[in-house]
Structure 1
Amino acid sequence: MTTDDDAIALRLDRDHVFHSWSAQAHLNPLVIAGGLGSTVWDHAGRRYLDFSSQLVNTNIGHQHPRVVAAIQEQAATLTTVAPATANLTRGRAAERVLSHAPDGFSSVFFTNGGADANENAIRMARLHTGRDKVVSAYRSYHGNTGAAVVATGDWRRVPNEYARAHVHHFGPYLYRSEFWATTPEQESERALHHLERVVQAEGPTSVAAILLETIPGTAGVLVPPPGYLAGVRAIADRYGILLILDEVMAGFGRTGQWFAFDSFDVVPDLITFAKGVNSGYVPAGGVILSEPIAKTFDDRVFPGGLTYSGHPLAMGSIVAALDAMADEGIVENAAAIGRDVLGPGLAELAATNPLVGEVRGLGVFWAVELVKDQATREPVDAALMGRIKAGALARGLLPFLADNRVHVVPPCVVTPDEAATGLGLLTEVLAEVA
């Protein structure tokens, strides 16, 4: 492969591909031709350490041989089958997913990704409770389908807000507290008070579910303060409301746990997942149903379905990915990388670079919030973020940028040396632009 192939790929992309969340005339996408583990490259052989995991989904890394082989094997056996049929690979995939869920979860509804997982979880909650409203957070992203995008809290909701019955609240974010809090405990207590008042003001008997990302990802890797998620669970129980935890980005190893909520002593009623369950090798997601909700549809038709629900190629990739993660200690590796490399390294960066306002995260799920002034906490602008992206790519580091943040989100298989190298490159870039 040569630079000519890169030019052809870019020309075809710009001539014919319509990109998401973008003004089409201003794009200049990076060409990626291949990858292995934590590294990707273009056709000319320029290599990049992938500190983005693409869209924070390649938890098992690029081209894991067991997952690739499983897809090939399934393709040679049965490439597709209707969702109404029974299929051994689909059953095994459901069994593997449920093996990592808490007790009391009995079934999985497979979807094509995270958005339609949240879409169907909302539908299940409404049908189970007979209520309509869903309370979600302003700092959140739940997907680009009808109900999921309206439940989203960020700017992407506004141009798509053609349906209501969703109510938003402010969740905890101590660095930019909406509650004048000065400690994590205050932030948790006041955020919970605000959430309960929202529920009360909306009318508790009209609220079907509280939908939260266990750790909001695109919104800034906002690790909940002590007691917050347990407090949300208590509010939901008090008013007969279901708790849906969105684990699309945070689940399957990203935080150093199989599910992010495993760190917070809370059990939801519905769990949504995608991304890390098979690292996006084939589009897949789903809803994990607790037994009471599943039983709602024992004798009542669930009015939802997808042509590719439980697609065999996706199911084969899930079985292989989850088996490989368990056998190879990949979740444990993510925890160790966060504890021993990323956490200490980012703390040192925060102590030495005046642009860094705060670092936060777990496992291989971190955000570096950048500010013009550490006292005022004014965010840096898009121009500076553009310089950071250019500097990182020039050094062979593929970053994930969102608003005024650099998200440090390498694959869960990243080695200590790779993590240290990536941190060193990021430190160089931020020192250069500071």
Structure 2
Amino acid sequence: MSSDLPAATAEDDATALRLDRAHVFHSWSAQGRLSPFVVAGGAGSHVWDHAGRRYLDFSSQLVNTNIGHQHPRVVAAIQEQAATLATVAPSTASLVRGRAAQKVLEHAPAGFSHVFFTNGGADAIENAIRMARLHTGRDKVVSTYRSYHGNTGAAVAATGDWRRVPNEYSRGHVHVFGPYLYRSEFWAATPEQECERALRHLERVIQAEGPESVAAILLETIPGTAGVLVPPPGYLAGARDIADKYGALLILDEVMAGFGRSGAWLALDHYDVRPDLVAFAKGVNSGYVPAGGVMISEEIAATFDERVFPGGLTYSGHPLAMAAVVATIEAMEDERIVEHAAAIGRDVIGPGLAGLSERCPMVGEVRGLGVFWAVELVADRETREPVGADVMAKVKAACLERGLLPFLADNRVHVVPPCVVTSDEAAEGLALLEEALAEASLGGAAARA
């Protein structure tokens, strides 16, 4: 901050909150019940408010600041691009856009040739669905109940959780249960059984819907908001086989799981599977400027060589976003950030959460990869009854009191720090989380007594 600017104070936090409550309409919320958390700045794995209180960011905001807050190379690239060309129409050829597409495709599966840039993950899903429908001449999209694909027409209809229900205006969406052994819908006792039965369920639904009507199977490679549901070995490959058997496409949603989050460039790199389309956003430039896109295989791209693709966005491939993409990917390559995320998950977060599970009776299961983990909280380990919203509120409050910024969903705490989190920071965050869970657990025990 320039020295001629006034120092930030707690009064600025109060002003930020007052203006927010007076004028800002928040997503997924009853507006009258909100008391937003104020963030004034950040660096690496930390954020702080105007008064200077620091928080270790174990949320990566919305699981998107993979490269951390205010990475200097990305900030400098945005500044340089802004001084050169701040915006340009998507119909033009732009060097920075071409470089961004090239960098993205360097980490795509073999046989991918093009990128359609969007403003974020939801419209990436929207356009992937559009491409699948036009390529196949079919209408239906099969996705899972435990999923989140975005808040636009087809994307939210493809979503499986509660947010779909008041927004079902898009046609042609069918849902199935995906694998989730801890709460199996298939009475499975092993990962192998869960995989086999989930695939059988998927195929039977496609058969019942009429295979000739199904354009695509849409899956989050690792369902994120739904609980970091790491698929059992063979599930994604099996979904690929089913798609091929019935002439449907396989779309993988890597919006949350991609670009280092799972300890790989794309989460699909952990599995023997090649999709037809890949949706991405979030970690591709850590959200420094809104950006997303669809990686398109050669076969799908060829569909539109002589046929007009009926889709477009004013800010598709926006220069500032593209500069952030190039700088992010290059920094992640040069600094080996993806490899670092894998090591942190393997050596620190995974073992740390395993120990937490042993010590904390409220933990039902931990699961994850890289810097992409979920801690499922239960009222009773035998029945696996989820804890209620009152307990989760206590967990959140206890985390914030200790300077830990958590990501909570349903009965889970998602451990999702930036990919650049250090070993010491990760260990500190896990220790703070354990303290918060102990406090919330004691409160629950006192209430039951």
Offset of 1:177 from its aligned partner?
0.2
Query: Among 51, 61, 85, which residue is 1:54 paired with?
Result: 61
Q: How far, CA to CA, are the matches of 2:120 and 2:216 in structure 1?
A: 21
SS of the residue corresponding to residue 272 of structure 1 reads strand
CA RMSD of aligned residues (A): 0.4
Does 2:179 align with 1:172?
yes
Identify the residue that residue 447 of structure 2 maps to in structure 1.
none
Q: CA deviation at 1:352?
A: 1.2
Partner residue, 1:235: 242
Task: Find the counterpart in structure 2 of residue 73 from structure 1.
Answer: 80
Q: Secondary structure at the match of 2:434?
A: helix
Out of 213, 226, 240, the position equivalent to 2:220 is: 213
Distance 2:318 2:269 in 1: 28
- SS in structure 2 at match of 1:371: strand
Cα distance in 1 between the residues matched to 2:134 and 2:207: 21
What is the one-letter code of the residue matched to 2:260? G
2:15 maps to 1:8: yes
Is residue 2:254 matched to residue 1:244?
no
Q: Deviations over 1:378-415 (max 9, x none)?
A: 00000110000000000000000000000000000000
Query: Unaligned stretches of 5+ in structure 1?
Result: none
Distance 2:219 2:133 in 1: 16
1:315 pairs with one of 317, 322, 325: 322
Aligned residue number for residue 333 of structure 1: 340
1:367 aligns with 2:374: yes
Counterparts of 1:36-115 in structure 2, within 5 Å, are 36-115=43-122
1:130 aligns with: 137
- Give distance in 2, aligned partners of 1:154 and 1:358: 21
CA distance in structure 1 between the aligned counterparts of 2:83 and 2:340, rounded to whole angstroms: 33
Q: State the partner residue of 2:27.
A: 20
One of 329, 342, 345 as aligned partner of 2:349: 342
Letter in 1 for 2:117: F
Q: In the alignment, residue 69 of structure 2 is paired with which amino acid?
A: H
Q: Deviations over 1:340-372 (max 9, x none)?
A: 000000001111111000000000000000000
For the residues of structure 2 that align with 1:159 and 1:318, how far apart are their CA atoms?
34
Match for residue 159 of structure 1?
166
**Alpha-carbon distance in structure 2 between the residues aligned to 1:102 and 1:226:** 19
Counterpart in the other structure of 2:297: 290
Question: CA–CA distance in 2 between the matches of 1:103 and 1:432?
Answer: 49
Amino acid at match of 2:302: K
Give the gaps of 5 or more residues in structure 2: 1-7, 442-449
Task: Tell me whether 1:389 sits opposite 2:396 in the alignment.
Answer: yes
SS where residue 385 of structure 2 aligns?
coil
- Determine the structure 1 residue equivalent to 2:270: 263
Q: Within 2, Cα distance between the matches of 1:394 and 1:427?
A: 13
What is the letter of the counterpart of residue 138 of structure 2? R
Corresponding position: 1:30 with 2:34: no
Confirm or deny that 1:302 pairs with 2:305.
Answer: no
Distance 1:385 1:196 in 2: 37
Q: CA deviation at 1:417?
A: 0.2
Query: How many angstroms does 1:432 deviate by?
Result: 1.6
Indicate yes or no: 2:358 matched with 1:351. Answer: yes
Report the secondary structure of 1:35's partner residue.
strand
Structure 1 residue ranges (4+ consecutive) displaced by more than 6 angstroms after TM superposition: none
CA distance in structure 1 between the aligned counterparts of 2:262 and 2:296, rounded to whole angstroms: 22
* Match in the other structure for 1:142: 149
Say whether 1:414 aligns with 2:400. Answer: no
Q: Which residue of 1 aligns with 2:445?
A: none
Query: 2: distance between equivalents of 1:83 and 1:164?
Result: 29
Q: Secondary structure at the match of 2:70?
A: coil
Q: Take 1:349 and 1:186, find their aligned partners in 2: how far apart are those partners? A: 28
Shift of 1:226: 1.1
Q: How far apart are residue 103 of structure 1 and its match?
A: 1.3
Distance 2:246 2:157 in 1: 23
Normalising to structure 1: TM-score of the pair? 1.00
The equivalent of 2:436 in structure 1 is 429
User: How many residue pairs get matched?
Assistant: 434
Distance 2:171 2:142 in 1: 11
Matched residue SS, 2:380: coil
1:190 counterpart = 2:197: yes
Alpha-carbon deviations, 1:83-130, whole Å to 9, x = none? Answer: 000000000000000000111000000000000000000000000000
Aligned counterparts of 1:400 and 1:292: Cα–Cα separation in 2: 38
Q: Which AA in structure 1 matches 2:218? A: L
Letter in 2 for 1:421: E
Whole-Å Cα distance in 2 between the matches of residues 427 and 75 of structure 1? Answer: 44
Q: How far apart are the structure 2 equivalents of 1:161 and 1:75? A: 39
Deviations 1:204-253 (A, max 9, x none): 01000000000000000000001111100110011111000000000000
Q: How far apart are residue 274 of structure 1 and its match?
A: 0.1
CA–CA separation in structure 2 for the residues paired with 1:292 and 1:392: 48
Q: Deviations over 1:283-342 (max 9, x none)?
A: 000000000100000000000000000000000000000000000010001000000000
CA distance in 2 between partners of 1:421 and 1:90 (Å): 39
